[in-house]
Amino acid sequence: GTLFHRCKFPLLKAFYIVYYVSTSKSGISSPELSRKLELRQKTCWLFKQKVMRAMSSSGNHPMDGKVDVDETYVGGQDEKAVGRNEGKKQIMVVAVERKGKGVSRIYGRVVDTAARKHLKRFMMDHIAPGAAVRTDRWSGYRGLESEFPKLVREKSEKKGKNFPQLHRTVMLFKAWLRGIHHSVIHLQPYIDEYTYRFNRHKMKEGIFENLMKRMVEKPPYPYKEFYLPYA
């Protein structure tokens, strides 16, 4: 009845995968897990998908205070892409909670388009209504002041100079993704992995225990269900 359900290799090695994924500062790839644990690379990759399932946000801790939101393409160059809605790249919406000159928390989600309905759902899932939200002037954010009274839409300066923390966060995520996952297919689990660790970077002890607790609280995730949208 947990994410360890019907594990087909030694359970101790499964615990080690959870440990390495949760505590490796820059993440760990399935080939590296394979070398460390003497398991097949595909076995490590498949089980890591279950671990990332446990890393998805509960939605119980919405951002408050100063929050910046933007959407970005993730993926290589796509000459056929037009506007924000076409092409092979994935569109990801990102929110960062600013604290001083830094960022205290981040959330991200893959969306079909940068339309208002998708941006609104993401923001309502992860941002408190009383937060001081900043976005650019993309039309998808128009009218969201009814849900977020303190929302301000600013003209985005060249290279995002007025959203420095947000743009730095996006660049760091993309750099990390290139080193771990060489595709934008099935991107959401990797966003969940990155944000889970980032949001707990000050948790010097207990991150492994926290993830183990999530692993046993989540229901089984059979391989046949892989890549279905998260509930």
Q: What is the pLDDT of residues 17-62, one digit of tens each?
A: 999 999 988 889 999 999 999 999 999 999 999 999 999 998 889 9
Domain that holds residue 140: 66-75+88-168
Q: Are 123 and 149 found together in one domain?
A: yes
- CA 49, CA 187: separation in Å to the nearest integer? 11
Q: What is the mean pLDDT of residues 203-214?
A: 88
CB proximity list for 164: less than 8 A, separation 6 or greater = none
Tokens of 229: 């949208």
On whether residue 104 sits in a domain, the answer given is yes
Biggest CA–CA distance in the chain, Å, is 54
Q: Is residue 23 one of the residues assigned to a domain?
A: yes
In the chain, the number of structural domains is: 2
What is the predicted pLDDT for the residue at 79?
44
Q: Measured between alpha carbons, how far is 26 from 144 in angstroms, rounded to an integer? A: 35
Read off the CATH number of the domain in which 147 is found.
3.30.420.10
**The tokens of 9 are what?**
């290799």
Mean per-residue pLDDT, 144-167 = 89
Separation between Cα atoms, residue 231 and residue 225, nearest integer Å: 12
Instruction: Give residue 230's pLDDT band: very low, low, confident or very high (50, 70, 90).
Output: very low
Q: Is residue 206 part of a domain?
A: yes
What was the pLDDT predicted at 157? 78
State how far the Cα of 13 lies from the Cα of 38, in Å rounded to an integer: 9
31 and 112: one domain? no
Answer yes or no: pTM beyond 0.85. yes
Per-residue confidence (pLDDT) for residue 222, from 0 to 100: 87
User: Which single residue is written with the structure tokens 């001083």?
Assistant: 100
pLDDT at residue 126 greater than cutoff 80 = yes
Is the same domain home to 159 and 214?
no
Please state the three-class secondary structure of 186-226 as a single string. CCHHHHHHHHHHHCCCCCCCCHHHHHHHHHHHCCCCCHHHC
Q: Does the pLDDT at position 73 exceed 50?
A: yes
Q: What angle do CA 142, 148, 152 make, to 5 degrees?
A: 60
Together in a domain, 70 and 121: yes
- In this predicted structure, the answer to whether residue 165 has a pLDDT above a threshold of 90 is yes
The confidence score (pLDDT) of residue 78 equals 47
Mean pLDDT of 117-135: 96
Burial class (CB in 10 A: 0-12, 13-18, 19+), 211: buried
Percent pLDDT > 90 in the chain is 71
Q: Average of pLDDT values for 64-83?
A: 76
Query: What is the model's pLDDT at position 201?
Result: 79
143 & 71 share domain: yes
- Residue 81: per-residue pLDDT: 47
Give the residue from 184, 226, 169, 186 showing the smallest Cα distance to 87: 184
Q: Residue 187 falls within a domain, yes or no? A: no
49/70 same-domain check: no
Token pair recorded at residue 186: 């099935």
3-state secondary structure of 84: coil
- Which region among 68-72, 144-148, 155-159 has the lowest average model confidence (pLDDT)? 155-159
Percent of the chain at pLDDT above 70?
89
The pLDDT assigned to 159 comes to 67
- Choose among 74, 48, 66: nearest CA to 172: 74
Length of the chain in residues, anyone?
231
At 134, the pLDDT band (50, 70, 90 cuts) reads very high
Question: Which tokens sit at 6?
Answer: 């019907």
Same domain, yes or no: 23 and 93:
no
The reply to whether 155 and 71 lie within a common domain is: yes
pLDDT value of position 226: 72
Whether residue 103 is predicted with pLDDT greater than 90 in this model: the reply is: yes
Q: Is residue 61 part of a domain?
A: no
